[in-house]
Amino acid sequence: MGIQHEQIQEPAAHVTPLMSRPDGTVYLATYYGNTLLLQTVNGEENPSRWELTRQPGQLKLEWTDAHSGMPDTAELLAALEASFTNYPNHHQIHLLAPVGQADELLRSGVLVRGENNQLIAYTELFWQQPRIWLASPQPHAFPLSYVLSQGRRHPLRPPKPVGIVYQRHIPWLARTLSFRAVNIEYDLERFNRWMNDPVVAASWREEGDPGKHRTYLEGIAADPHVIGLIGCLDGEAFGYFEVYWAKEDRIAPFYDVDDFDRGWHVLIGEPRFRGKPFVTAWLPSLSHYLFLDDCRTQRAVIEPRSDNYKMIRNLSLGGYANLKEFDFPHKRAMLGMLLRERFFAERLWIPRDGVATSLSATLF
């Protein structure tokens, strides 16, 4: 007698598409019970069909499309992302599908060969694939060469990005979250408005006219160790993020900094985007972006005010360990740190119960 396959009962059928963008191709992934339909956004071809079944201790993803010879690599990546997103408690997926680029996928860690030559995708490895979430992933790490900046020796940094750098579908919002590089001419008005919002101003203390904020953004643009980003949901801007290389930053003297540590600051400028559903979207996504942007980044750091207990609690739920308090000239700070290994091993892109209901617009 053959093995009896138990049909997965959850999640229930839904028709809100999950969007996936592997290798720059946009797919709509729609689940109907155990069936996954994948279609490119142009909709020129019939959707391909995949099935999910569960055997003891494993989840199996099977390609059942009879319309073509085999799925291409982008379609396979989209199917895996949709499956891991819909079944976040599964650590691995056993794949039954013809794979045309198996060697390349095995070398990159998308797939691993198990017993009996079975192809397996592990969530910890899959979520470290830049080609799925970065708009322009680099094929190789930027070459290592050391320079001096203000007396600090650090690696030469790559050119700053332009346009969208990261995109991820957020299932609980049914929207796409993205980060894009600041465009001063396009973003100055909203940046000025955000900085003069009383909630933001209480933390950033950068109120002023557009001229002051143009100078501020031009300073960020000229600084090779900082990148200014705008966070968007379905293209609607909601907040400003600064990500930086910690080795060249003011935080460097306060801990044993590594060459590729990254840090960040944030303000949420649009009040309706402040709160639990949004925090659980952008906070882990920003951490994810920093780890994908350079595979050598092993730690993300942050320095909220030591008395900002709500912030610190939210960061803790996001995987950031509170290491110590220390004194900046302008504040008493808490050093928070997130390890790359912890982020991927514990799947911290998945919201945890008890996340604080609000993360105010604040400088970390």
Decide if 353 is inside a domain. no
Same domain, 222 and 270: yes
Decide if 350 is inside a domain. no
Q: What is the CATH number of the domain that holds 181?
A: 3.40.630.30
Same domain, 108 and 254: no
Helices 309-317, 276-293: axis angle to 10 degrees equals 60
Q: What is the pLDDT of residue 334?
A: 92
Average pLDDT over residues 241-265: 96
Catalytic, 248? Answer no
Decide if 317 is inside a domain. yes
Give 14-78 as a DSSP string: --SPEEE-GGG--EEEEEETTEEEEEETT--SPPEEEEEEEETTEEEEEE---SSS---HHHHHH
What confidence tens digit (pLDDT) does each residue in 69-121 have?
A: 788 899 999 999 999 998 888 899 999 988 887 889 999 999 999 988 899 99
Give 223-286 as a DSSP string: -TTEEEEEEEETTEEEEEEEEEEGGGSTTGGGTT--TT-EEEEEEE-SGGG-SHHHHHHHHHHH
Decide if 358 is inside a domain. no
User: What sign results for the dihedral spanned by CA atoms 244, 272, 348, 118?
Assistant: negative
Report d(CA 195, CA 208) in Å as an integer: 8
Same domain, 306 and 334: yes
Decide if 220 is inside a domain. yes
How much is the mean pLDDT over the chain? Answer: 89
Which tokens sit at 339? 């390890």
Q: What is the pLDDT of residue 99?
A: 86
Q: Domain count for the chain, please give it.
A: 2
Domain of 67, in residue numbers: 6-131
Same domain, 286 and 153: yes
Q: What is the pLDDT of residue 241?
A: 98
Please identify which of the residues 44, 303, 325, 341 carries the catalytic annotation: 303
Report d(CA 244, CA 260) in Å as an integer: 10
Same domain, 121 and 163: no
Average pLDDT over residues 293-320: 90
Q: What is the pLDDT of residue 8?
A: 36
Give 267-336 as a DSSP string: EE-SGGG-SHHHHHHHHHHHHHHHHHH-TT--EEEE--BTT-HHHHHHHHHTT-EEEEEEE-SS-EEEEE
Looking at residue 270, its amino acid is E
What confidence tens digit (pLDDT) does each residue in 136-149 have?
A: 998 889 999 999 99
Decide if 258 is inside a domain. yes
Decide if 167 is inside a domain. yes
For the ranges 168-172, 209-213, 301-305, 325-329, the lowest mean pLDDT is seen at: 325-329
